[in-house]
Structures are given as structure tokens and as C-alpha cells.
């Protein structure tokens, strides 16, 4: 059992010394990816069964997941102030999504987690921590014999910086016209000077941004001032290119030569820069896919030369003339990682390593295993799409969608022809939650044999989610 700790809001984990454990620290949305990590470790540690402990910030009405520990400083504050989790007649709980830095710091400094790690290390020589993104605020790897099963966090931080990316990839991949502004005054002046030349809009991004946060497509100077006037960052500004497709390539780099391409999906982008989901396979032509494959290998080798090892992604756009332009590197796992694992599992030869096993070899040995195989074509005709239901105004949940643990089974059945199509709704928190603007309420994953059926599943899933919410007062 985890030692008692007021900072732990919920746990169903009981320690069993017969198992070899690893930790997952991150959101529930990538919980199931740990089963692939578990299977990868089982290939290397065959003498003991493998289990993982998932330390998550997600606050839900209940948890249909094994070995969960919930730590959320914002949720803890609410719990202390009004006992919102235990009152019989209670006001709505809040669906808190805290930033990664605060969550990782809370986990790293939690005495119960550190005591648990000490106990685990009494029975095994090494403890791996699996992360969605390697971040500096995760400091548990400073404990002797504890290591992150992913990219070096200092190198990941360096290459999540868009300024660093563009400087490193100049002349390596095709880039849109761009400039770097060292401060807010430079940003305001440079965008004003370029406005008459870049008439389709100017994309402004802070050095660090993701999923539309800290970035915007601007069409006039008022938008620049209102969106970035209160900040003083280093900015990357680029000419906005009208386009039809926003492909993303998922990959793994093992060294300065070996880069594995998992696949290409199309991102669904709204408002110019806000990511809400992905669809596979990409609508790019075979020639365009081959070019993006080549560009991503180039980017991966650059990362490999700098010491990066593990999963990463590259985002592109394809303009109205069919030309490809690089947008950014994501030096972390992508939102498509889990769905690509399910796709690869149904497509590659039996026994071929999945992405977490490739990352394990890349991180621990700087190579890929000998039986590594890329997916050359979509042999099983698997199509899928994801939709992240993000709240724009404050909502109250009045219904509950059960937590679905069968996404992997859905991919298998569609690939085998047992199902023509199906969809699952994931990570809904439950009834009587006050969901704040900017929060993700739930995700829909739709799997089928064609894109039309995928879109139908996404539409139906969104409809179910909408039935569980009302406008909050």
C-alpha cells in the first residue's frame, strides 16, 4: 500500500514484492501506452512479471484503471477547503487541469512517492519512469538507480524551443519565411513592418508553445498587441501560408543515423493554430509522404547528433500548390503515439517491436533491435480519427460516460473485419463537475475501414459528450 499522505487524493495501488515495477507519471490520456512499455520490459526482464504504477493528476468520479495514484495540488486545495469529495450534498467538484511543471514538481517532492520508490528499489536494481514528455521539473531521476525511460530532459527542453529548431534546421528542411524577435518591442515593430508583405497573416509564437498555447495567427496589429502585449518573450514570427493539410509525422531516433518513421497522420487544426485531433491515414499524396519521411529523417538525425534519443514528432503543412513546409519539432511523444501503436500492432509482422520498445532500446543502448520493421503501407485498411473535446466556456457535467478500457480491442476487431466501425469516449471525469474554460472534457477515438465512417463515429461521440454538459452559472 502507498504510505498515507494528504497530498494523495486517491489510490487503489497495493505494492506486491513479487512484481518488477516501473512508474508512469502523466495524464490518463496516455495511461494505456504503458501496456506496451510493460510488454517491452517483459522481453528484457523475463524472470519477474512486470507491472506499472500510474501517478496522474486527473480528478474523476471513479477510476476504471489499475494501480492509480492521483496527485493534484489544485484538487488538494479544493479538498481541504470544502471537502468536495466527501460531502453527501456537495457543490460541483472542479475539473482541474494543472500545468505539467506544477504536477511534476508535486510528484517529485511527494514524500509518499519517494518512500514507495525506496521500497521498490529494495527488490529491484533499477526503476524506470515513463513520461509523456521529459521535463526538468521531474527530479525523481536524481535518486540513485532511478532513470527516465525517454529522451534526456535537458536536450528535450533545448529542442522544444522553436528558435533553436529553426536555427538548427535552416537549409535542412523547407521552412516558411520567418524572423526571430528578441523581445516585445521587436515583435510589435517587425510585425508592423511585414504586415504589407505577408498579407495572408503573420503567425506569432513564443519560443515554447504547444497545441495553440502561446501562439496565434494574427491579421492586424491590434491582434498582436492584445494577444502578446502583456508578455515579453523571444518570438518566432513566420509568414502564414494558406493550406489544406497539416500532416504530422511520428518517429523515433536511436542515434545520429537511425531514425524510425511510425507513420503520418493529418492534424485537425481550427482557428489557424488550435489542435483538436488527428486522422489517419493522411490525405497527402505518396510523393508528399515520401518527402515528409525524408525531412523527418533529416530532423531526427540532427536530434541524434545532439544526443536526443527516443520518440519525437515533426509537424508540416502542405500549401495550396502542394508544396511542403516544416512547422515544428515536438521533442516528446505525440498525441498520435497510442493510436499508432495500435495500428502498428495490427499491421507489422508478429514480434516486431512497438514504439515504446524502440524508445527503450534507443535510450538504453542507442540502437534499434534487429527485428525492427517500419509500416510501409496500410495493409489492414485501418482508418482512425481522434477528437479532443475542449471547453470554451464554463460547463457543468450532468451526465457520466463510463471510462472505456477497450480501445486496443476496437483496433484489433476492425483490423480483423469483426467490426466495420466503432468509437470510444475516453477520460470523461463524471457527473457534477464544473469544467473550466480551456479544459479537455473528454476524447473521442473512432476506428473504421474508411474516413467517412471515422467521421461518423467522431460526430456521434461528440454528440454523446454534449449530452453530458450544460452551461454553468
For position 80, what pLDDT does the model report?
43
Helix boundaries (H) for 366-450: 407-416
Residue 322, pLDDT > 60, answer yes
Architecture label for domain 380-472 = Alpha-Beta Complex (3.90)
Locate 394 and state its grid cell.
464554463
More confident of the two residues 261 and 77: 261
Tell me the pLDDT tens digit for each residue of 266-314.
999 887 777 899 999 999 999 999 999 999 999 999 999 999 999 999 9
Residue 77, pLDDT > 60, answer no
For position 451, what pLDDT does the model report?
97
Rounded to the nearest integer, the mean pLDDT of the chain is 92
Within a 10 A sphere around the Cβ of 29, how many other Cβ atoms? 19
Tell me the pLDDT tens digit for each residue of 369-383.
999 999 999 999 999
For position 342, what pLDDT does the model report?
98
Q: How many angstroms separate the CA atoms of 238 and 240, rounded? A: 6
Q: Which residues pair with 312 in a beta bridge?
A: 251
Tell me the pLDDT tens digit for each residue of 102-112.
999 999 999 99
Q: How many angstroms separate the CA atoms of 116 and 16, rounded? A: 11
For position 83, what pLDDT does the model report?
40
**Judging by DSSP bridges, how do beta strands 178-181 and 20-25 pair with one another?**
unpaired
DSSP state of 238: E
Q: How many angstroms separate the CA atoms of 259 and 361, rounded? A: 12
**Residue 253 vs residues 151, 155, 300, 361: alpha-carbon distances, Å:** 10, 13, 6, 10
Lowest mean pLDDT among 137-141, 268-272, 447-451: 268-272
For position 2, what pLDDT does the model report?
63
Tell me the pLDDT tens digit for each residue of 167-217.
999 999 999 999 999 999 999 999 999 999 999 999 999 988 765 578 889
Tell me the pLDDT tens digit for each residue of 14-57.
999 999 999 999 999 999 999 999 999 999 999 999 999 999 99
pTM: 0.93
Query: What's the distance, Cα to Cα, between the start and end of the chain in Å?
Result: 41
Q: How many angstroms separate the CA atoms of 93 and 350, rounded? A: 46
> Which among 225, 263, 227, 270 is positioned nearest to 247, based on CA atoms?
263
Within a 10 A sphere around the Cβ of 429, how many other Cβ atoms? 26
For position 458, what pLDDT does the model report?
98
Tell me the pLDDT tens digit for each residue of 235-255.
999 999 999 899 999 999 999
Q: How many angstroms separate the CA atoms of 152 and 129, rounded? A: 12
Going by pLDDT thresholds of 50, 70 and 90, the confidence category of residue 85 is very low
Residue 341, pLDDT > 80, answer yes
Residue 88, pLDDT > 60, answer no
For position 116, what pLDDT does the model report?
97
202 CB-near residues (< 8 Å, 6+ apart): 191, 194, 195, 217, 218, 219, 224, 237, 238, 239, 240
Provide mean pLDDT across the span 412-416. 97
Provide the residue ranges of all domains of the chain, joining segments of one domain with +: 8-149, 177-239, 380-472
**Helix or strand (DSSP H, E) at 448:** strand 440-448
Lowest mean pLDDT among 89-98, 149-158, 181-190, 355-364: 89-98
Question: What is the CATH number that goes with domain 177-239?
Answer: 3.30.1490.20
For 328, counting Cβ atoms within 10 Å of its Cβ (0-12 exposed, 13-18 middle, 19+ buried), the class is: buried
For position 374, what pLDDT does the model report?
97
Going by pLDDT thresholds of 50, 70 and 90, the confidence category of residue 82 is very low
| Beta strand spans in 60-152 (E) | 68-71, 93-95, 127-131, 146-148
> Which among 314, 219, 330 is positioned nearest to 261, based on CA atoms?
314
Amino acid at each position: 500500500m502507498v504510505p498515507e499522505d494528504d497530498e494523495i487524493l486517491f489510490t487503489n495501488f497495493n505494492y506486491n514484492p513479487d512484481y518488477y515495477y516501473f512508474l508512469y507519471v502523466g495524464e490518463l490520456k496516455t495511461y494505456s501506452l504503458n501496456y506496451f512499455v510493460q510488454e517491452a520490459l517483459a522481453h528484457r526482464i523475463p524472470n519477474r512479471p512486470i507491472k506499472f504504477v500510474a501517478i496522474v493528476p486527473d480528478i474523476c468520479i471513479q477510476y476504471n484503471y489499475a494501480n492509480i495514484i492521483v496527485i493534484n495540488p489544485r484538487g488538494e486545495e479544493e479538498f481541504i477547503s470544502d471537502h468536495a469529495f466527501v460531502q453527501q450534498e456537495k457543490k460541483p467538484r472542479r475539473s482541474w487541469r494543472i500545468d505539467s511543471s506544477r504536477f511534476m514538481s508535486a510528484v517529485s517532492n511527494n514524500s509518499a512517492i519517494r518512500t514507495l520508490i525506496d521500497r521498490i528499489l529494495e527488490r529491484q536494481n533499477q526503476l524506470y519512469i515513463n513520461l509523456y514528455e521529459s521535463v526538468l521539473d521531474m527530479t525523481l531521476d536524481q535518486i540513485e538507480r532511478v532513470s527516465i525511460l525517454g529522451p534526456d530532459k535537458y536536450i528535450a527542453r533545448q529542442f522544444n524551443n522553436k528558435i533553436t529548431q529553426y536555427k538548427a534546421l535552416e537549409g535542412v528542411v523547407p521552412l516558411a519565411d520567418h524572423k526571430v524577435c528578441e523581445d516585445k518591442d521587436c515583435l510589435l515593430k517587425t510585425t508592423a513592418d511585414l504586415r504589407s508583405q505577408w498579407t495572408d497573416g503573420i503567425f506569432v509564437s513564443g519560443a515554447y508553445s504547444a497545441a495553440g498555447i502561446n501562439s496565434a495567427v494574427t491579421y492586424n496589429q491590434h491582434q498582436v498587441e492584445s494577444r502578446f502585449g502583456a508578455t515579453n518573450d523571444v518570438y518566432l514570427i513566420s509568414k502564414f501560408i494558406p493550406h489544406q493539410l497539416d500532416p504530422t509525422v511520428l518517429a523515433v531516433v536511436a542515434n545520429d543515423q537511425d531514425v524510425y518513421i511510425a507513420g503520418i497522420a493529418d492534424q485537425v487544426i481550427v482557428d489557424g493554430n488550435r489542435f483538436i485531433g488527428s486522422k489517419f491515414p493522411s490525405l497527402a499524396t505518396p510523393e508528399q509522404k515520401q518527402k515528409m519521411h525524408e525531412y523527418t529523417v533529416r530532423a531526427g538525425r540532427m536530434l541524434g547528433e545532439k544526443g536526443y534519443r527516443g520518440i519525437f514528432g515533426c509537424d508540416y503543412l502542405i500549401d495550396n500548390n502542394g508544396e511542403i513546409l516544416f512547422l515544428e519539432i515536438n521533442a516528446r511523444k505525440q498525441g498520435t503515439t497510442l493510436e499508432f501503436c495500435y495500428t502498428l500492432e495490427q499491421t507489422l509482422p508478429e514480434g516486431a517491436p512497438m514504439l515504446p520498445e524502440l524508445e527503450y532500446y534507443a535510450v538504453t543502448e542507442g540502437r534499434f533491435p534487429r527485428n525492427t520493421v517500419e509500416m510501409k503501407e496500410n495493409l489492414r485498411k485501418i482508418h482512425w480519427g481522434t477528437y479532443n473535446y475542449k471547453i470554451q466556456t464554463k460547463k457543468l457535467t450532468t451526465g457520466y460516460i463510463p471510462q472505456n478500457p477497450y480501445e486496443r480491442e476496437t483496433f484489433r476487431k476492425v483490423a480483423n473485419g469483426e467490426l466495420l466501425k466503432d468509437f470510444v469516449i475516453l477520460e470523461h471525469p463524471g457527473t457534477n463537475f464544473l469544467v473550466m474554460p480551456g479544459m479537455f472534457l473528454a476524447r473521442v477515438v473512432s476506428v473504421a475501414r474508411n474516413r467517412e465512417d471515422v467521421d461518423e463515429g467522431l460526430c456521434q461521440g461528440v454528440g454523446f459528450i454534449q449530452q453530458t454538459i450544460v452551461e454553468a452559472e
